[in-house]
Amino acid sequence: MANARVGIVYYSLYGHVRKLAEAVVEGLDVAGCTAELLQVPEILSPEALKRLGAPSKAPDKVAQVADLKGYDGLLFGSPTRFGMIAGPLKRFMDSMGHTHFDDTPLVKIPRSLWKEEGLSGKPAGGFVSTGTQGGGQETTLLSLQIMLTHHGMMFVPLGYTTPLLNNMDEVHGASAWGPGCYAGPEGARVPSDLEKDIARHYGWKFGSIAAKLKQAKKVNDNG
């Protein structure tokens, strides 16, 4: 099976999404994929982050739109803001459709990841963190899917592919749309072992699909 490269584009203010991302990476590793964590640029000022009590950012590579075409699949992680993805991730994804210009000696050539269909046909998915139950675990991933559809990407949900999702013995995040965790009203709750196990399973599932699609493309390209 082909070794697929998966980029995990995320925003994490307090670290909950980052912890889920780590579990997803573990699942991708089991599937034989190469994963890279890519954090989107922060839009809050250092003063605002200090007032909010946000911890220091992880030493992950900063996501660049120009690099996304190099991945065989993309996953997006975000905390929920009123049932939708957070502003920093939305801003980054908006920039995926911006036109920029490659200068040549004779003419400026317009370029756009969206216009060039640079992500069309690639698998994609997501995972989330909400403060409470009913805080937007499903709607946030639905809002993400709308953007991915405009890029022609294939949304890969978690589905009910693991009995862990049906666990009724404890409160936990995640849905058929994708992995998730609850941060609590004050952000003091960390992702539980169950939530991380679900995220690992999703990483494995997504990675298996991404690898199969890459292998199929390779066979098709070779005739």
Extract long-range pairs of 163-166: CB within 8 Å, 24+ residues apart. Answer: 164/194, 164/197, 164/198, 164/201, 165/198
**What stretch of H or E contains 214?**
helix 193-221
- Quick: pLDDT tens for 58-116: 999 999 999 999 999 999 999 999 999 999 999 999 999 887 655 555 555 557 899 89
Of residues 59, 70, 72, the one with CA closest to residue 33: 72
**Spatial separation of the C-alpha atoms in residues 17 and 187, rounded to whole Å:** 12
Strand-pair partners of 62? 39
Q: List the pLDDT tens digit at each of the 223 positions of the chain.
A: 559 999 999 999 999 999 999 999 999 999 999 999 999 999 999 999 999 999 999 999 999 999 999 999 999 999 999 999 999 999 999 999 887 655 555 555 557 899 899 999 999 999 999 999 989 999 999 999 999 999 999 999 999 999 999 999 999 999 999 999 999 998 999 999 999 999 999 999 999 999 999 999 888 787 6
**Spatial separation of the C-alpha atoms in residues 65 and 76, rounded to whole Å:** 13
89: left (phi over 0), alpha (psi -120 to 50) or beta: alpha
Q: Is 12 helix (H, G, I), strand (E, B) or coil?
A: coil
Global confidence as pTM: 0.93
pLDDT at 103: 55
